[in-house]
Structure 1
Amino acid sequence: MSSMNTPDKTTPPTVILSGPTRGLGRALLDRLVSQGFPTVGLGRDLGRIAAVARSAPAQVQLVEVDLGADSDALTDALAAVRRILSTNSSGPLAFISNASIIEPIGQATGLTCSGLERAMRINCLAPLLIANFLTKTAQAQGRPLLVLDVSSGAACRPIRGWQAYCTSKAAYKMGLDVLAAENSHIKVVHFDPGVMDTSMQDLIRAQHVEDMPEVEVFRSYREKGTLKAPFTVATELIELIERHLS
């Protein structure tokens, strides 16, 4: 982590949120809107949240992009974000790096180049490029930046069947730490939300033990009722923003 410029406490942080259409991302979007944060949503299938944007047109702006697509798509999306931020160039910035995929799941020797590449693009390369871009933008505009990495225990320990996910999340974590070490106006916070009740967990529980030997552990979370609600985790993330930037 690095120290930041002193936040402007009179202007609410502008939040850039990836993956805002479902699960934790959708819970975050709802909380951000209800609490008055200017928000830029980045992701696919934005028709799912079009009504949210229409309900608060001065507060919510959406930029459609597939983070797993080629670099040209991301470049175009970041140009749109630049235009949005240029109209509101005061107050802190916060990037909630939420979008990620767990696929492909399976033994490492059976994974394909295309599967690994897509996981790396969505979980590491695209969000790292977004964070790099926002770092330059924040510096040019003289505003602090908080990067909230919605991380995972998989970034720190190996899980059989999850080579793509573990590798991409660990690489992203290190990339952000280097970025923070190089730039004193940003702060990086890695936040592990624990195991949430989302569609990702549905996918995990549907795996065969041959592909993911620990699948029964994840099935037990549902049976024991220990899965966290996305709304609860969203509240914790909003509190982090308020603690560091408000």
Structure 2
Amino acid sequence: MSDKLVLITGTSSGLGQEICLKALDEGWHVLGFARRENVDYGESYHHQSIDLSDLVAVRSLAEKSLSKKRFDTFDQVALVNNAGTIEPVGPLQSARLKDLERANNLNITVPLWLMGYLKLSCGSKLKKIVNISSGAARKPYQGWASYCAGKSALKAASEVMAAENQDLEVLSYEPGVIDTAMQEEVRAFDPRIFPHRQRFADLHDSGQLVPPHLPASEVVSFLEAGYQEPNYQAYRYGDRT
């Protein structure tokens, strides 16, 4: 059997699905997480149906499915924090506390916790972490205060995780504006609450959206590569071609 395991959040569709399929092609075992049930990509794929914004469910998952014993048969473990949400959208004065809490759980709290928990459980077996980032981590988008804050926080935490663990490689990766269901949501927003909607609609109409299998290949290439310094990297789709 393969001696390598990657945990990927958000494997039921979009970029997460493509990363999963590419990793399987490269001989990885995949433990995937998504709200959708009955996700099956073959015998090397193991699915956990879960709402990662529900901290009670995440704690239960850790106790039942992420014990140290689960990782004993693998020589190397990796993590891809891909799942996230752009909601709530609109000016901050319209945001509800429960929606901000849910977004922060999914975009910040659980990704950070997974990084720490896997390092604690796997030790030196944890070789690579990829945190899916966005241009929203670097620049403000009106209507996306929560999403911008989440991606910015995750990028900062990625740097800290690498600084604290020199034996571990951490990548903050921007896949570009990719052709997924999330982009369909963006194009459907009312421009009164998301003034940048037209920019994303124009990218779609002019055929400039990135097919998700292309950045997925870059992510898996990072997982497959040997250890490199510096152990923290941040780059965008196409930067390394």
Q: TM-score, normalized by length of structure 1? A: 0.86
What are structure 2's unaligned runs of at least 5 residues?
229-241
* Aligned match of 2:48: 63
Q: 1:16 aligns with which of 7, 19, 28?
A: 7
Once the two structures are superposed, residues 115-167 of structure 1 have per-residue CA deviations (whole angstroms, 9 ceiling, x without a partner) of 1111101011011101110111221xx32421101110101111111011001
Once the two structures are superposed, residues 160-179 of structure 1 have per-residue CA deviations (whole angstroms, 9 ceiling, x without a partner) of 11011001111122122222
Considering Cα pairs closer than 8 Å and 6+ residues apart, tell me whether 1 or 2 has the greater RCO.
1
Following superposition, the deviation at residue 87 of structure 1 comes to 4.2
1:174 aligns with 2:153: no
Q: 1:230 aligns with which of 212, 226, 230?
A: 212
Q: TM-score, normalized by length of structure 2? A: 0.88
**AA aligned opposite 1:115:** D
- Preserved contact between residue 89 and residue 144 of structure 2 (Cα < 8 Å): yes
In proportion to residue count, which structure has more strand?
Answer: 2
1:120 aligns with 2:111: no
- Preserved contact between residue 169 and residue 227 of structure 2 (Cα < 8 Å): no
C-alpha separation between the residues in 1 aligned to 2:126 and 2:53? 28
- What count of residue pairs does the alignment treat as equivalent? 226
Q: 2:66 aligns with which of 81, 89, 92?
A: 81
Q: 2:127 aligns with which of 122, 145, 153?
A: 145
What are structure 1's unaligned runs of at least 5 residues?
1-10
**AA aligned opposite 1:133:** Y
- Preserved contact between residue 97 and residue 148 of structure 1 (Cα < 8 Å): yes
The alignment's C-alpha RMSD in Å is: 1.8
**AA aligned opposite 1:66:** D
Identical residues among aligned pairs (%): 27
* Aligned match of 2:119: 135
* Aligned match of 2:191: 209
In proportion to residue count, which structure has more helix?
Answer: 1
Following superposition, the deviation at residue 36 of structure 1 comes to 1.5
**AA aligned opposite 2:66:** V
